[in-house]
């Protein structure tokens, strides 16, 4: 067990990564508290409108759709550490301004909309840079482990943040929650400054003239020539748009279907995050690039359980099903991320990871208003199971395409335990 734990957390032995992960954990706990408080505030200001929740989600992710590819170009041209500092400083100023509005009682719905859009700008710059920066913190040998720990940090915050936020909203309302978010965002600023630049695993920045050659379109062409990278990105774009809207759908499900309060909404998010944390830790022992079959299997599992969540008729069934849904959701996303990162050339890493962030987060502006409309018109459950069926269809089509392209066959083994496995051409 000691050896297993040592392997699972070995990236934390690197001081720069330890500072990075600690700062992210503190900030993300506050961020998830803010997400719960923001959704609850929108429902209060809009008379329980699921459409308003969809608009907020769309505004939050639209800048990702518009600016992420440009941010990836910045990541390939400039110091990623400095870019992270600037983006996080902008986030801190936003969070402080929003907390003042809420605490003083002056907040209106359009304030929340504006805050969500500006928050999206900060995320559009910070997320692709942060994704590309991980390889500089630990180097390529530890990159799979570090990426899995990143997901573990993210989902640990998803466990703690919503649970604390639900109790805090019930006890002291949403204002103090926004203030905690603002204070927690200072941690990554301090830790980025404390990093030792001479211990970073990075090449020297190219001369200014050569930096201008790092064009966005070259990154797109690079991905288009790489089917092994293109497939997980296309699959993520469909699943991200149609199913990864739990921030919106679970709030509507808790409040409009099961008639529960903020604490119960927090339990939904916590159950999803517990499964997600286990899914993230399941990938920490990975040392090589995940196979395409692992990615496809995880996508099918995620879509299947997501569909069942929308069809569940009882509150306790939803909580139970959110555990495996969270597991496969993160296991799929992490395996796809690792397949992309471990297969990309270092000179294109910033632009390729920007495209990854675009398909992972940037599809939300397209899907969120539609999902919100479906939830308001046909019920929150329908918005979840419909997204699950769309995702399942995409995953099965991707599986069929990959089987035909590779010439492999899918077989079912009954004993000693039922399981599907892939037989490569000639292996029979």
Domain-embedded: residue 201:
no
Query: What CATH number did the domain enclosing 169 receive?
Result: 1.20.1250.20
Centroid of chain to Cα 299: 15
Q: What is the pLDDT of residues 1-59, one digit of tens each?
A: 565 656 677 788 889 899 998 998 999 888 888 888 888 888 888 877 777 877 887 78
Q: For residue range 215-265, list pLDDT tens digits in order.
A: 667 778 888 888 888 999 999 989 988 888 787 788 778 777 776 666 666
Candidates 53, 99, 246; CA nearest to 158 is: 246
Residue 81 lies in a domain: yes
Is there a domain that residue 2 lies in? Answer: no
Choose the weakest-confidence range: 47-61, 84-98, 211-225, 335-349: 211-225
Q: Is the peptide bond before 185 cis (omega within 30 degrees of 0)?
A: no
d(CA 306, CA 384): 7
For the chain, the domain total comes to 2
What mean pLDDT is reported for the chain? 81
Residues 35 and 178 in one domain: yes
Q: Is residue 249 part of a domain?
A: yes
Range of the domain at 76: 13-196
**Is 258 in the same domain as 189?**
no
Do 295 and 159 have their domain in common?
no
Same domain, 271 and 322: yes
In this model, does residue 375 exceed pLDDT 90? no
The answer on 136 and 234 residing in a single domain is: no
| Residues 381, 310 share a domain | yes
Higher-confidence residue: 121 or 151?
121
What pTM was computed for the model?
Answer: 0.71
Whether residue 142 sits in one domain with residue 23:
yes
Determine the pLDDT at residue 392: 94
Same domain, 57 and 90: yes
Same domain? 87 vs 227: no
**Position 417 in a domain:** no
20 and 158: one domain?
yes
Q: Is residue 411 part of a domain?
A: no
Is 279 found in the same domain as 241?
Answer: yes
Q: Based on the domain organization, do 253 and 288 belong to the same domain?
A: yes
């Amino acid at each position: 067990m000691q050896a297993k734990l040592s392997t699972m957390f070995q990236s934390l032995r690197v001081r720069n990564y330890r500072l990075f992960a600690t700062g992210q954990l503190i900030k993300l706990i506050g961020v998830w508290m803010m997400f719960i408080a923001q959704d609850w505030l929108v429902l209060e200001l809009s008379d329980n409108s699921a459409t308003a929740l969809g608009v907020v989600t769309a505004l939050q992710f639209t800048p990702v759709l518009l600016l992420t590819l440009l941010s990836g170009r910045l990541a390939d041209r400039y110091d990623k550490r400095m870019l992270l500092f600037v983006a996080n400083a902008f986030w801190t100023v936003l969070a402080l301004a929003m907390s003042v509005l809420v605490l003083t009682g002056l907040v209106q719905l359009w304030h929340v909309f504006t805050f969500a859009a500006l928050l999206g700008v900060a995320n559009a710059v910070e997320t692709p840079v942060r994704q590309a920066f991980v390889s500089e913190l630990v180097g390529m040998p530890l990159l799979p482990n570090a990426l899995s720990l990143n997901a573990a940090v993210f989902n640990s915050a998803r466990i703690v943040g919503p649970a604390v936020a639900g109790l805090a909203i019930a006890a002291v309302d949403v204002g103090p929650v926004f203030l905690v978010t603002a204070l927690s965002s200072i941690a990554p600023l301090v830790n980025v400054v404390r990093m030792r630049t001479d211990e970073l695993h990075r090449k020297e920045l190219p001369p200014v003239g050569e930096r201008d050659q790092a064009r966005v379109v070259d990154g797109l062409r690079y991905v288009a020539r790489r089917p092994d990278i293109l497939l997980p990105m296309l699959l993520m774009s469909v699943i991200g748009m149609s199913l990864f809207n739990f921030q919106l759908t679970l709030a509507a499900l808790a409040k409009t279907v099961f008639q529960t309060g903020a604490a119960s909404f927090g339990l939904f998010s916590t159950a999803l995050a517990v499964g997600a944390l286990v899914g993230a830790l399941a990938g920490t022992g990975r040392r090589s690039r995940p196979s395409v079959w692992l990615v496809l299997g995880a996508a099918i599992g995620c879509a299947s359980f997501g569909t069942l969540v929308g069809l569940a008729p009882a509150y306790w069934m939803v909580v139970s099903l959110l555990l495996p849904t969270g597991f496969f959701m993160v296991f799929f996303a992490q395996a796809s991320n690792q397949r992309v990162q471990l297969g990309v050339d270092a000179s294109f890493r910033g632009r390729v990871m920007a495209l990854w962030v675009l398909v992972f987060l940037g599809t939300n502006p397209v899907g969120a208003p539609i999902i919100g409309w479906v939830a308001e018109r046909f019920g929150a459950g329908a918005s979840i199971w419909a997204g699950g069926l769309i995702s399942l269809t995409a995953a099965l089509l991707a599986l069929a395409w990959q089987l035909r392209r590779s010439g492999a066959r899918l077989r079912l083994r009954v004993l000693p335990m039922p399981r599907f496995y892939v037989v490569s051409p000639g292996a029979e």
